Amino acid sequence: MRIAVVGGGIGGLCLAHGLRKAGVDVAVYERDLSRTDRLQGYRVHINPHGAAALRECLPAANWARFEESAGHGGNGFGFLTEQLKPLLLLDPEVEQHYSASRITLRQVLLDGLDVQFGKRFERYEQNGDITLHFEDGTTASCDVLVGADGIRSRVRGQYLPHAGTEAVGVTAIAGKLFLDENDWVPRELVVRANSIVPTGRAGMFLAAHDGLGVTDVQDDLLFDNARPYLMWAYAAADLTVHDGLDLQREVLRRISRWSPELNRIVAATPAETISEWRIRSSKPIERWQPTNVTLLGDAIHAMTPMRGIGANIALRDAQLLARCIAEGGDAIARYEAEMYDYGFAAVRDSLRAARQFADGSPIARTVFKTVLRTASAVPALKRAMFAGQGD
C-alpha cells in the first residue's frame, strides 16, 4: 500500500514516522521550498496525550531529541483579575507536559524523512489508484491520500467542499516579551500560565516559555529560538484590525485601566514580535462515507487556540491513523469513526472557550468569577471542575 501525505506540518510528519515504523510505504509532499522555510511561530503546548503519540510514532533518536529540546510545562494554571488578583490557582499536573518550539519540533519531525519540498498540491484524480497533481506540473500516484495541509486544506476543498472553517467573531493580538532582558516581570506570571478575566468583554492569556535547558542540542535545531520569553495574547470580539493600525498601541489603549504590570509587559514587548489573527473554527458537518481519501488535524477539525489542544489533537490523529493502517482492513473507516467524535468535540469545546474568553457579558463574567472563587475555597469542587485541565 502506498500512502501519500499532503502537508508537512506536525500531524503529517508524525503520521509519516508512524507509518514508516510499521513498514508502510509513505511519501510526504510539502509546499515549502526547504526544511528551513518555516522559521517563525510561538512554542506549542504538548500535553501527555500528544507526547504519547510522538513517543509511539517517532524513532527513539527523534524522541530523545524532542525531549532534549523541549522546555517543561505543567506548572499549574491561574485565573486572575485584570489587577492580577487571584481568582483560582490550579496545581501543576502530575503527568509531564512540554513547551516545544514549533520551529524546533518541525526540525525534529523532519529528521529522517525524505520529504519532497516545493510540491504545492493542486488536485487529485481517482481511477482505481489516486493521481496527485502539483502546481509545478508534476504528478504522483498512491493508494491512500491523507490531507494534512492545514486550515486552508486543498485536499479538503476537493474532497469535502461543504466543510471548511468560519470566523468566530474574535480577533487576537499577541506578542513575545523576552525574559532574559526583562527580569522585572512578576513571578506569578512566569511560574504558571494565566488567564486574565476582566470585567469587560475581553481576555488575556499569558504563558512563559523557558529556554531549552541544554547546551549540547545540535545547532540546526535551535534557529535562535532558545531564548525564554513570556507570550501574551489579548482577544476581544469587538477588536477590528486594519492596515495602519498600531497593534501595540491598540492593546495598551484597551488595557489602560488594568494592572501597571500588564501595561508594562505590553509596552516593553518588541514591536516586531507582535501580530494579530482573526480566529476561525471548523464548521460542523455530518459524517461522510469513508473512501481512500482522508484528512487529519486542522484540515478537518481546525479549532480556536483558547484550549491550546489543536496540535495535540493532530498528533492523536496521526497516532490513530498509523495504527489503523498498520492493522489493515477498513482502516480509514475505523480512523474516521473515532476521529470524528473526539475531533469535533474538541472543536465545540474550544469554540465555547473562545467565546467565553473574549465575549462574555459583564453579568456572565461576574458569575464566572464567583464560580472560580467558590472552587478555590472548595478543593473537591476544584478537582471536579478542572480534572484534565490542559488535555
How confident is the model over 28-60, as pLDDT tens digits?
999 987 765 554 556 788 988 999 999 999 999
pLDDT tens digits, 147-190 = 999 999 999 999 999 999 999 989 999 999 999 999 999 999 99
The residue type of 293 is V
**What value does the mean pLDDT take over residues 335-358?**
92
pLDDT digits (tens, 9 = 90+) for 80-116: 999 999 998 887 655 677 878 788 898 899 999 999 9
**3-state secondary structure (DSSP) of residue 157:** helix
Q: Which long-range contacts (CB under 8 A, 24 or more apart) does 364-367 make?
A: 365/197, 365/198, 365/199, 366/199
pLDDT for res 308: 76
> Which DSSP state fits 86?
E
The CB-side HSE value for 381 (13 A sphere, CA atoms) comes to 10
Q: Cell numbers at residue 54, please? A: 510522538
H helix or E strand, kind and range, residue 101:
strand 98-101
- The confidence score (pLDDT) of residue 93 equals 59
Cα separation, 290 vs 288, in Å, equals 6
pTM as predicted: 0.85
CB 68 within 8 A of CB 214: yes
Reading the block at residue 138, the C-alpha cell is: 508534476
> Cell triple for residue 214?
541544554
